[in-house]
Amino acid sequence: MVEKIEKRAFGNTNHKSSRAIFGSFGVGHVSQKEADQVLDTILKFGVNHIDTAPSYGEAETRVGNWMKHYRDQFFLATKVDQSSYKEAREQFYRSLDRLQTDHVDLLQMHNFTDVVYRELAMESGGALEFLVEAQEKGLTRFIGITGHGAQAPLMHYQSLQRKSFDTVLLPCNYTMMQIPHYRENFNRLIEKCEKQNIAVQTIKAAAKGLWGGKTKKHATWYEPLTDQSSIEKAIHWVMGQTEAFLITTGDLDILPKFLAAVSSFSEPPAEDEMIALVKEQEMTPLFDQ
């Protein structure tokens, strides 16, 4: 019997989301039939929150076909990555069509750690102006920001000094958190989010490192951990460090292992176990320091 994943309050949204959020990148590159099998998997584990984006291939279309029948069962999030009001508006309305819904629960500014994009999006006539309007019109209930890279926690902290977004999304795994400035800025961001009841979403929990010269064997731009024991240690470590939500890996073969790891969490592994895991798996940070 599959153990259902814990649900907890998702920031200030009044929604109890599964601790694991389904990251839909993987279904953007498979048939609808294969995507529907993934739906069965996430429902089995009790996942009730989906994160998608227009840049994830056909992911919004695949998820949209689920929404015809399951819209009331999911907290639905998508993103915009255009910097102007007009472009963001056009992109979002296309997303609504693909998702087969008249609203989303969360609309996020994608890659808000790109300095140029952030400044263009936040100026008059920028994308943020559209997101605020969309929220006022009920097209989205909440607004968030996402980001990658070693500067993500610092830049999110800066962004929250300028506007109180409802959610943030950024990397968190053992190797990234061994970088002193990343750990310091991450913890400072978490503290701010806890005080303001801003939901925190993490990515790359089960990342092993960059592919380097290796042959790419999985549908992720980074090399993921693949055996259940290693995945559990990596994910349980993240779950022990923060109350944040974890967005699942983009590789569909690893997805059930990821969900099983989240559902089985009781306590984080000891530090010596993580040091041994890093050595055994030759794990490295995904982003430059």
pLDDT in tens, 16-51: 999 999 999 999 999 999 999 999 999 999 999 999
In a domain, 240, yes or no: yes
In a domain, 1, yes or no: no
pLDDT for 2 equals 80
In a domain, 154, yes or no: yes
**Residue 143 belongs to domain spanning:** 7-281
- Which of 173, 249, 237 lies closest to 205 in space, CA to CA? 173
pLDDT for 195 equals 97
pLDDT for 194 equals 97
Instruction: Give the mean model confidence (pLDDT) for residues 82-96.
Output: 98
Rounded Cα gap, residues 253 and 173, in angstroms: 20
Rounded Cα gap, residues 17 and 75, in angstroms: 7
Q: Is the pLDDT of residue 164 over 90?
A: yes
DSSP letter at 56? S
Overall number of domains in the chain: 1
Q: 222-224 and 207-210: which strand pairing?
A: antiparallel
In a domain, 144, yes or no: yes
- Which of 221, 279, 220 lies closest to 254 in space, CA to CA? 220
In a domain, 2, yes or no: no
In a domain, 194, yes or no: yes
pLDDT for 288 equals 79
- Which of 99, 176, 189, 89 lies closest to 145 in space, CA to CA? 189
Task: Specify whether the CB–CB gap between 154 and 182 falls below 8 A.
Answer: no
pLDDT for 58 equals 97
pLDDT for 213 equals 85
In a domain, 288, yes or no: no
pLDDT tier, 76 (very low <50, low <70, confident <90, very high otherwise):
very high
What Å distances lie between residue 216 and 34, 221, 256, CA to CA?
A: 21, 8, 20
Planar angle of CA 27, 4, 254, nearest 5 degrees: 35
Task: Specify whether the CB–CB gap between 10 and 245 falls below 8 A.
Answer: yes
Planar angle of CA 6, 11, 14, nearest 5 degrees: 80
Residue 268, domain CATH? 3.20.20.100
Q: Is the pLDDT of residue 75 over 90?
A: yes
* 256: Cβ contacts below 8 Å, ≥ 6 apart: 41
| Residue environment code for 133-146, b if the CB has 16+ CB neighbours within 10 A, otherwise e | ebeeeebbbbbbbb
Planar angle of CA 92, 97, 101, nearest 5 degrees: 95
pLDDT for 158 equals 97
pLDDT in tens, 175-223: 999 999 999 999 999 999 999 999 999 999 999 999 988 999 998 999 9
Q: Give percent of the chain with pLDDT exceeding 70.
A: 99
Instruction: Give the mean model confidence (pLDDT) for residues 85-105.
Output: 98
pLDDT for 68 equals 92
Task: Specify whether the CB–CB gap between 150 and 289 falls below 8 A.
Answer: yes
In a domain, 289, yes or no: no
pLDDT in tens, 218-250: 989 999 999 999 999 999 999 999 999 999 999
pLDDT for 236 equals 98
- Which of 220, 203, 84 lies closest to 146 in space, CA to CA? 203
**pTM given for the model:** 0.97
